[in-house]
Every structure is written in C-alpha cells, then in structure tokens.
C-alpha cells in the first residue's frame, strides 16, 4: 500500500510515532521558513498575518463539522481545558476516564474545589449520574489507542444534564468526530493534523459559549481587531474568537498549509489507509506471538511485553514510543505497508 502523502513528506526513518508528533508536510515547512525569513529580513509587514490563522480556523472547522464561528485557536490543549475548568462552580463534579491524558484532567484537579470522579473508559457512559456537571474524556486514548463510545457518553450526559468535553488530539485528522455534538472539544494540532507545535483548537457550542469567560482575552479577542489595540477591549468578538489565545504566527502559517492538505486528501481516505496499516501490524504481531491491547478500528497499536525491544527498533531506525509500559506505534498518511513490514521484521529478529 502506497502512502497518501506523496511527495509532501520525506521521512528518513520508518516513522511510526505520529501519536507523539506528526511529520510536517513540505508545504508547511516552506510556509514557516518563508515567514521566518521575513521576520529576519524586515521585509514582511510584521510577525505574521491573521489571514493564515483564519484559513487554519476554517479548515479545522470543516474537518470538525462545525461553523468557523465556533472555533477558537490557541497553543495547547491544557490552556483550553483550563478555561473550561475555570467556568465551573465550586463543588462541581467532573467525570473522567481512568488513565486519560493528564492535560484533560489536571486543569480540573489543580483547582482543588472540584469533585473529580474516575471510571474505566468502557464504563464511562454508565458512570454518568445526576449531579455530574461535566464529562471530560479523549475520543482516542493516548496510551493505547482505545476509542471511546462517543454516542453512548453523549446520550448519557444529555440524559443527566451534564456537559461534555472531548479531546480529539489523537483522533482529529483520521477519525470523524462530530464536534458540534459536544459542548466542547479540544485538539492539539501537532499529531495527526500534522501541524507545527503551537497550534490547538477549541470548539464551543453557542450555548456553552455563554458560560465561558474569556480570561486570557487580549486585543485579538476584539470584534474590531485593529480597533482593540489600546485600552480595555470595548466589544469582544461575537464568535468563539473571543477565546483565542495569543497567536504563534509561525505555527499557524504552517498549520494553514497542513490542514489544507488533509482536506485535499479527505478524512475518509485517511482513515481507510491508516486503519488498514494498523490492522496489518496487529495481525503480524499476533503471528509473532504478541497480543496488542484491544483497540478495534484504531490507528494506534499498543503492545505489552515489548519494551525490551525498543532499543532494537531504535537501532533499526523504526520510530515508536513507550507509553504506559507498552510499545506504541501509530500509522498515518506518510506510512506504507513497507513500514509495517519493516517494524515486524525487526521484532521477528
């Protein structure tokens, strides 16, 4: 199976580590380089332009299935989650899966006046109860690739009047998640969205926007952007843009190009490609006597009992990660069946 990225990517290793960090397409690298040269030479109009930020916002909105007016941009997932955590009243109950990524949990735990309750991912929907204010969870688990039952959790939350926060960092770019079906979604852009680090996205329903205070609002949160540069912002943006964090223009100039590429390829084609490679890897592992963590339909494959082989994989320039005591591989558009077979050959000795 050929790659989907074509000449846009040029990995020099067998790179199976997108769940840690995605590879940048050439067009993104060129956009970042061009802006850096402008910044170095003084020939540009400034440190970057908001047109690139707007293009990235619009592309992400289309990928997430929501209007661009519901998308805020930022630099990291935990900042978005922290904004949501700050909106909750003292004593509010937040339900989270056991072992979910720390950026989803810590902004709630550090407040000290919220009630955090944990449940196994498989039992998350059943754990929602009257009095649960928010269910916060990842669509795909970083540690092992397990996919949450999004529909069941959404239905349970609706039945009990709880809001929902979904981290789509490990799913956006290959798994279609209807962001509009949840009160909030947060997404780091530097994994399967193949954006530079320093890009992240928050989606907020119109109703949920009313409960959030734009605590880190600066001039870019103004409805009249260039009329809000001095003194307090008199009129905040009428859209989710009022929740934007200060912009890392180098990152967003690259992100606009990366997200455009994903739109050109299409999420359905990406999912089919990635899951086929992951299935081939799982089958090969089983043939070698190894049992991956069950994660049907995921592009992330986590394997217990192989951490001692990590040095062998590194020496063979097969890039994977060690997470939660397992070897973790992840497959994306720049991977091929040759990459799968190369990793299996190393593990076979």
pLDDT tens profile 86-124? 999 999 999 999 999 999 999 999 999 999 999 999 999
Q: What is the mean pLDDT of residues 195-222?
A: 94
**336: which DSSP letter?**
-
Residue 334 has pLDDT above 70, yes or no: yes
- CA–CA separation, 113 and 116 (whole Å): 9
Tokens 């910044």 belong to 39
The residue from 229, 264, 299 where one domain ends is 264
pLDDT for residue 66? 97
- CA–CA separation, 104 and 87 (whole Å): 15
Query: Are residue 131 and residue 10 in the same domain, yes or no?
Result: no
Share of the chain above pLDDT 70, in %: 99
**Closest to 204 (Cα-Cα) out of 81, 103, 94:** 81
Residue 141 has pLDDT above 80, yes or no: yes
Q: Are 262 and 194 in contact (CB under 8 A)?
A: yes
Confidence of residue 328 (pLDDT cuts 50, 70, 90): very high
pLDDT for residue 5? 84
Domain boundaries, position 271: 6-24+267-348
Q: What is the CATH number of the domain that holds 275?
A: 3.90.1150.10
Question: Which strand ranges, in their side-by-side order, compose the sheet holding 132-138?
Answer: 71-74, 200-204, 184-188, 163-167, 132-138, 93-97, 115-119
Q: Are 188 and 168 in contact (CB under 8 A)?
A: no
CA of 193: how far to CAs of 105, 270, 333, in Å? 22, 11, 10
Count the alpha carbons within 13 Å of 190 in the hemisphere toward its beta carbon.
Answer: 12
CA of 29: how far to CAs of 16, 65, 242, 256, in Å? 20, 27, 29, 11
Confidence of residue 126 (pLDDT cuts 50, 70, 90): very high
Q: What is the mean pLDDT of residues 299-317?
A: 97
Q: Is 33 among the domain residues?
A: yes
Query: Are residue 205 and residue 133 in the same domain, yes or no?
Result: yes
| Segment 223-254, tens digit of pLDDT | 998 999 999 999 999 999 999 999 999 999 99
Per-residue DSSP letters for 53-103? Answer: HHHHHHHHHHHHTS-GGGEEEES-HHHHHHHHHHTSPTT-EEEEETT--HH
Q: Tokens representing 84?
A: 């949501």
The residue from 230, 249, 264 where one domain ends is 264
| Segment 251-264, tens digit of pLDDT | 999 999 999 999 99
Q: What is the CATH number of the domain that holds 44?
A: 3.40.640.10
Q: What is the mean pLDDT of residues 171-199?
A: 97
Query: Are residue 73 and residue 132 in the same domain, yes or no?
Result: yes
pLDDT for residue 28? 98
For 161, residues 6+ apart whose C-beta sits below 8 A from its C-beta are 130
Count of domains observed in the chain: 2
Q: Tokens representing 54?
A: 């707007």
Query: Are residue 87 and residue 224 in the same domain, yes or no?
Result: yes
Query: Are residue 245 and residue 313 in the same domain, yes or no?
Result: no
Query: Are residue 111 and residue 233 in the same domain, yes or no?
Result: yes
| Segment 32-88, tens digit of pLDDT | 999 999 999 988 777 899 999 999 999 999 999 999 999 999 999 999 999 999 999
pLDDT for residue 36? 95
pLDDT for residue 1? 65
Count the alpha carbons within 13 Å of 102 in the hemisphere toward its beta carbon.
Answer: 2
Query: Are residue 68 and residue 206 in the same domain, yes or no?
Result: yes
- CA–CA separation, 319 and 15 (whole Å): 5
Count the alpha carbons within 13 Å of 233 in the hemisphere toward its beta carbon.
Answer: 20
Pairing between β-strand 93-97 and β-strand 115-119 as defined by DSSP bridges: parallel
For 155, residues 6+ apart whose C-beta sits below 8 A from its C-beta are 125
For 190, residues 6+ apart whose C-beta sits below 8 A from its C-beta are 21, 22, 196, 197, 198, 199
The residue from 235, 264, 293 where one domain ends is 264
Query: Are residue 260 and residue 301 in the same domain, yes or no?
Result: no
pLDDT for residue 59? 98
Query: Are residue 157 and residue 220 in the same domain, yes or no?
Result: yes
Look at the chain and count its residues.
349
Query: Are residue 49 and residue 118 in the same domain, yes or no?
Result: yes
Q: Are 166 and 184 in contact (CB under 8 A)?
A: yes
pLDDT for residue 6? 85
Q: What is the pTM of this model?
A: 0.96
């Amino acid at each position: 199976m050929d790659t989907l990225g074509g000449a846009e990517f040029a990995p020099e290793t067998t790179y199976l580590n997108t769940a840690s960090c995605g590879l940048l397409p050439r067009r993104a690298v060129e956009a970042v380089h061009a802006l850096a040269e402008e910044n170095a030479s003084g020939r540009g109009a400034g440190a970057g332009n908001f047109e690139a930020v707007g293009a990235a916002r619009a592309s992400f909105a289309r990928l997430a299935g929501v209007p661009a007016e519901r998308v805020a941009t930022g630099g990291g997932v935990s900042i978005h989650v922290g904004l949501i955590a700050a909106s909750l009243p003292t004593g509010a109950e937040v339900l989270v899966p056991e072992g979910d990524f720390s950026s989803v949990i810590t902004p709630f735990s550090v407040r000290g006046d919220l009630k955090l309750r944990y449940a196994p991912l498989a039992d998350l929907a059943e754990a929602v109860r009257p009095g649960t204010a928010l269910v916060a969870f990842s669509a795909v688990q970083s540690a092992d690739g397990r996919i949450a039952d999004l529909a069941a959790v959404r239905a349970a939350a609706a039945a009990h009047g709880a809001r929902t926060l979904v981290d789509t960092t490990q799913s956006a770019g290959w798994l279609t998640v209807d962001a509009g079906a949840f009160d909030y979604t947060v997404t780091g852009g530097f994994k399967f969205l193949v954006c530079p680090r320093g890009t992240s996205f928050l989606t907020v329903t119109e109703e949920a926007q009313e409960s959030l205070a734009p605590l880190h609002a600066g001039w870019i949160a103004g409805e009249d952007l260039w009329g809000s540069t001095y003194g307090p912002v008199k009129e905040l943006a009428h859209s989710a843009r009022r929740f934007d964090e200060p912009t890392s223009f180098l990152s967003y100039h690259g992100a606009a190009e990366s997200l455009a590429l994903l739109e050109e390829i299409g999420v359905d084609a990406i999912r089919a490609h990635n899951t086929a490679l992951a299935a081939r890897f799982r089958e090969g592992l089983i043939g070698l006597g190894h049992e991956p963590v069950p994660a049907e339909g995921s592009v992330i494959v986590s394997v217990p009992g192989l951490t001692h082989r990590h040095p062998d994989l590194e020496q063979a320039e097969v890039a994977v990660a060690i997470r939660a005591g397992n070897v973790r591989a992840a497959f994306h558009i720049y991977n091929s069946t040759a990459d799968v077979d190369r990793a299996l050959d190393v593990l076979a000795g």
